[in-house]
Structure 1
Amino acid sequence: MVSWYDPLVLAQTGVRSIISATIGSQADRRLLDALAAPKVEPSDFSVDAAGRPREELWLDYVADMGDGWDSTYTIAQTVSRPTLTLKDETGTTHETRGGEVLVFGGDEVYPTASVGEYEERTVKPWTAAMRGQRPAPHLFAIPGNHDWYDGLVSFMRLFCQGRHPAGWETHQRRSYFAVKLPHGWWLIGTDMQLESDLDEPQVHYFQEIAKRMREEDRIILCLAEPAWLVAQVRAPKERSYLNNNLDFLEEQVFGKKVSVFLTGDIHHYRRHANAEGRQKIIAGGGGAFLHPTHVPRKESELAEGFTQRKTFPAAEESRRLCWRTLGFVGHNPKFGVLTGLLYLLLSWMQVADLREGGTVTWNLGRVLGAALVNPGVILLSALLVLGLIGFADARFGRGRWVAGVLHGCAHLAGALLAFWAAFAISGAVLPLGSVPQQLLGAVLVFAVGFLLGPTLMGLYLLLSLNGFGAHPNEAFSALAIPDWKNFLRLRIDKDGRLWLYPIGIRRVPRAWKPGETAREPEWVADDKDATPPELIEPPIVIGLLHPH
């Protein structure tokens, strides 16, 4: 799994994010792609190769993959099986078939997009998983924010130029698409870019597609992010962009034809539905680290009567998993190196200030006094506190400054106590002020900073998330949990009903062995603690007239 608190990963991802955001706002790649592929023509899967109307069609939807091998490969292998026999929570057994169409719902690779990262983290696991299984499906993909981190260059090269990565057959020529399905169903995939904005060529494309739809046709709409959920916690400006895009598609382009909204971006399963039977489903469990399900809490504020029906994992389990942040250093040892060096730097600045009359004093009061008058310590301390104020989640509202200041002061107090204790202890066994004593003290300060700094960060994230509903991404990205994965299997039956099978895996395998025959995937699980795929909830069925 990607180590998100590795200082190098943080720096690289931050730089790529800034660059891509700048390029995205100044030179939108989608405008050029629309000029290169001006034709507005949906892919037609409503008929078979002979031109006969299809009676039924199976599809698979996978989002947020390309993180760790275990999680990404497990989902790829499960999707690639010809059939899956699944039990739901009532004990009922359901037979499903692998989809002829595969949809990637955004963020196909982590941490940032590049040809090499796509190949290593996405294409190779899927290629290995599909060996000896069913024929490779037809692939459609929409980009998420991580796909945009190289300006969408690698995404377009892989998915939109008629290539066959992992044996998939690709059809789209833009970063968005329209697919005609049997019995009046349509699959629509959008690209909101990093600015959460629909560009004019994309609007024109979907307007032309909408003209080809009948009044009774229905739509499965794939989005890169769940506007209905993130709008509860984003800043007002971001909320307006998200809501305006969704409202525009619904009201100005497709009308009320949209029966199902599918999205990833948030790495868990969550379903909302209203009394009309319209579904809003988050299924971002294709391989990336788990996101919590016990936030946000204001479920009653969703518009149009949508209420939460199911999450995977359950909110209680999600809250329990958050306690793992107390072991932050075990999950993120490189971050411990960073805090160890920070504590050591704060301490080293004070050594010269503790000499009086040729002797060195390690009285706690003297140490504190020296820190308060040392310009370097004051400057570094101020930068640390300001940085942690900036890190504090906007969900704190007006309390953001308080959270940042308290977090920063906790680290400063930890560094001060570590300095005093380490040098006092080393001074008890070695001559005070000697080079060996100061070197031993430095080692002890670093060791305390390595352990205490991440622990304070973990405690801060635990209190923030479980106490105030803040920092869900920061807390769970630190844990990099590969389990609780999910994807959606869809079926349009001969009567025109749409069946949605939410498939979950509670614990992915950690050990693998080579497949023994060419009819097996390249690697098969060798972990007795892994759990089989299961239905997260009974299938959701959307009928011709009365969805339920």
Structure 2
Amino acid sequence: MSDSSRDTAQGAGWGAAERGTYRRLMPARTEKLSWLDPRILWAARNGVLASWFGDPTGRTRSRWVARRAAAGAPADKLIRRDVPDRFSFMVIGDTGEGGDSQYAVVPGFLKVARDTEFAVIASDVVYPVGSADDYGRKFFRPYQDYPAPIYAIPGNHDWYEDLGAFMRVFCAEPRPLPQEPRPGPLTRAWWRSLLWHRARPADEQRLAEARRLRSAPEQQAVQPGPYWAIDAGPVRIVGIDTGLLGTIDAEQGAWLREMSLGPRPKILLTGSPLYVDGEHHPCPIDGGGTVDGIVRDPEHHYVAAIGGDIHNYQRYPVEVDGRTVQYVVAGGGGAFMHATHTIPRVSVGGVTERDFRCYPLRGDSLAFYSRLYGRRLRLPRLFGLTAAEATAVIAERLGIEPGRTPEPGVRITRRTRLVASLLGAGRRPERTARFRLPVRKIYTQLFSPSSTTHSPPFFKCFLRLDVGPGAVRLRCFAATGNRRQELDPPVEDEVVIPLPGPPN
């Protein structure tokens, strides 16, 4: 097995390396998506409008669910997969920008996934707004050689066109929902309706041609709706739709409570992670309660909760009533990289730095961003940090063990500390700074989306879960875009999750 980023800098993708073969999979012409383009920001405005004028997602979702029920979808939204007691499936989150960083994941993904029963895309299948015309390049083409079904749960970007394309592709809904009557003038709902981004008519021939790329019978699957459950072998996999703002409606909440009953071990897949960036986000349910309250209930037997939305990998093993629930962030499947070096020293839910895992390592994240902004600002000698320098300064600022063995002779200089501070490297909670830019929020909202690059290392990842009668083995594999990691994807994290036995 090849070195991981925890072993060597070369294992992380740094240094001279041969680019992978992924570009052979890409279309001849690839539009480069820029999150600094005002046209993209304007098209993706619905999340902001929902936060200002009220979120219509719950009502729209209920209409989709009602239509699926009328078409004969099972009321319990349960998919029953006839698999052995030992089987494997893939999870990959936040995939579809359609550029180098998405396609760089594909060769390693196909190699690791070749004997799996199915795959799940956890959040944001297609960027920027979930348009039907983008599914060819950003879904059907990259995964055309994956031989098994692909299920999905939508992310906020899939909702920017009211989930119409997602429902067509994954739920076989042939037409969009009819528009509701416009609300009374000058109300909040009226302003939202006036400014709301709506889908353009899809190019039907283009979509039909794209579908042929994944047209083999063994690749087909129709979901009962945007949220669903899969019974496979000894486990139940529960996928929820957290809409535009990271919440679920009362109708879905009632379904989730019902599907969580019983002794069968369960794994939650969600568009919004419950633990992320050193914080707890329990995910409210309209009408009361939270998703994490359901996960934590010992009567429901959840062993893991895996969420997308944030474009990296994180894992928090949280002790809950005498058992461990693995809370995982798995949104590194292709879109721009959210920084990990801005995560402060972890102390949340009883989880400390000793137990926390992330990919990319914080030092690699800082080195990535330092070089990026060195190029953007044309100040590479000031901003550019080597991976060794970034690893060392992160360890100093956070008071933690380095992510990998430090290289000999690395000095932490005033310049190194300045760059780390300017780029928002996490700081120990007990330290205070006289001056510090508010970069954590800005990184999430602006800097990270502008971090798209078109050359390795990309620091992308995907999960493989191997399920057996007594345990689930979860592994996070890296995809850097280099040939070395393409041929032999390194394992960046691994955990064996015990499954509870039958009740006495």
Compute the TM-score of the two structures, normalised by the length of structure 2. Answer: 0.64
1:144 equivalent in structure 2? 155
2:302 equivalent in structure 1? 258
Give per-residue Cα distances to partners, 1:385-419, cap 9 Å, x unaligned: xxxxxxxxxxxxxxxxxxxxxxxxxxxxxxxxxxx
Trace 1:114-513 onto structure 2 (pairs within 5 A).
114-127=131-144, 130=145, 136-161=147-172, 166-167=214-215, 168-183=219-234, 185-211=235-261, 213=262, 215=263, 217-229=264-276, 232=279, 244-250=289-295, 255-275=299-319, 276-300=323-347, 302-305=348-351, 308-323=355-370, 324-328=372-376, 463=422, 465-466=424-425, 468=437, 469-470=439-440, 471-473=442-444, 474-481=446-453, 483-493=458-468, 495-505=469-479, 507-508=480-481
Give per-residue Cα distances to partners, 1:270-321, cap 9 Å, x unaligned: 1111353321111111110111112221511x22547652211111111222
2:106 equivalent in structure 1? 76
- The answer (yes or no) to whether the contact 2:278–2:343 under 8 Å persists in 1 is no
- The answer (yes or no) to whether the contact 1:108–1:122 under 8 Å persists in 2 is yes
- The answer (yes or no) to whether the contact 2:80–2:232 under 8 Å persists in 1 is yes
Residues 233 and 44 of structure 1: is their aligned pair in 2 closer, same or farther, counting only changes over 3 Å?
closer
Amino acid at match of 1:101: F
- The answer (yes or no) to whether the contact 2:476–2:491 under 8 Å persists in 1 is yes
1:540 equivalent in structure 2? 495
Residues 223 and 33 of structure 1: is their aligned pair in 2 closer, same or farther, counting only changes over 3 Å?
same
Distance (whole Å) between structure 1 residues aligned to residue 110 and residue 173 of structure 2: 21
- The answer (yes or no) to whether the contact 2:47–2:245 under 8 Å persists in 1 is no
Equivalent position SS for 1:170: coil
2:88 equivalent in structure 1? 58
- The answer (yes or no) to whether the contact 1:61–1:103 under 8 Å persists in 2 is yes
- The answer (yes or no) to whether the contact 1:161–1:173 under 8 Å persists in 2 is no
Larger radius of gyration: 1
Distance (whole Å) between structure 1 residues aligned to residue 54 and residue 452 of structure 2: 30
Residues 266 and 98 of structure 1: is their aligned pair in 2 closer, same or farther, counting only changes over 3 Å?
farther
Shift in Å at residue 117 of structure 1? Answer: 1.6
Structure 1: state its 5+ residue gaps.
49-53, 85-95, 332-458, 510-526
Equivalent position SS for 1:279: strand
Distance (whole Å) between structure 1 residues aligned to residue 129 and residue 54 of structure 2: 15
Shift in Å at residue 8 of structure 1? Answer: 2.8
Give per-residue Cα distances to partners, 1:408-462, cap 9 Å, x unaligned: xxxxxxxxxxxxxxxxxxxxxxxxxxxxxxxxxxxxxxxxxxxxxxxxxxx9997
Distance (whole Å) between structure 1 residues aligned to residue 65 and residue 283 of structure 2: 27
- The answer (yes or no) to whether the contact 2:77–2:227 under 8 Å persists in 1 is no
Amino acid at match of 1:44: R
Equivalent position SS for 1:297: coil
Distance (whole Å) between structure 2 residues aligned to residue 503 and residue 122 of structure 1: 20
The answer to whether 1:44 aligns with 2:80 is: yes
Distance (whole Å) between structure 2 residues aligned to residue 541 and residue 26 of structure 1: 36
Residues 151 and 461 of structure 1: is their aligned pair in 2 closer, same or farther, counting only changes over 3 Å?
farther
Distance (whole Å) between structure 1 residues aligned to residue 278 and residue 56 of structure 2: 21
Structure (1 or 2) with the greater helix fraction: 1
- The answer (yes or no) to whether the contact 1:109–1:146 under 8 Å persists in 2 is yes
Match of 2:124 among 101, 107, 114: 107
Amino acid at match of 1:107: D
Trace 1:89-104 onto structure 2 (pairs within 5 A).
97-104=114-121
Sequence identity percentage:
23
Amino acid at match of 2:496: V
- The answer (yes or no) to whether the contact 1:268–1:290 under 8 Å persists in 2 is yes
Distance (whole Å) between structure 2 residues aligned to residue 304 and residue 73 of structure 1: 37
Distance (whole Å) between structure 1 residues aligned to residue 467 and residue 283 of structure 2: 34
Shift in Å at residue 256 of structure 1? Answer: 4.7
Distance (whole Å) between structure 1 residues aligned to residue 117 and residue 224 of structure 2: 20
Q: How many residues align?
A: 364
Distance (whole Å) between structure 1 residues aligned to residue 242 and residue 57 of structure 2: 15
- The answer (yes or no) to whether the contact 1:24–1:151 under 8 Å persists in 2 is no
- The answer (yes or no) to whether the contact 2:462–2:476 under 8 Å persists in 1 is yes
Distance (whole Å) between structure 1 residues aligned to residue 421 and residue 160 of structure 2: 29
Distance (whole Å) between structure 1 residues aligned to residue 496 and residue 289 of structure 2: 29
Distance (whole Å) between structure 2 residues aligned to residue 529 and residue 249 of structure 1: 38
Distance (whole Å) between structure 1 residues aligned to residue 108 and residue 443 of structure 2: 28
2:38 equivalent in structure 1? 7
Amino acid at match of 2:449: S
- The answer (yes or no) to whether the contact 1:23–1:151 under 8 Å persists in 2 is no
Structure 2: state its 5+ residue gaps.
1-31, 70-74, 175-210, 380-417, 426-435
Residues 175 and 222 of structure 1: is their aligned pair in 2 closer, same or farther, counting only changes over 3 Å?
same
The alignment's C-alpha RMSD in Å is: 3.3
Shift in Å at residue 27 of structure 1? Answer: 6.8
Equivalent position SS for 1:277: strand
Shift in Å at residue 44 of structure 1? Answer: 1.4
- The answer (yes or no) to whether the contact 2:108–2:488 under 8 Å persists in 1 is no
- The answer (yes or no) to whether the contact 1:294–1:316 under 8 Å persists in 2 is yes
- Of structures 1 and 2, the one with the larger relative CO (CA 8 A, separation 6+) is 2
Shift in Å at residue 200 of structure 1? Answer: 2.6
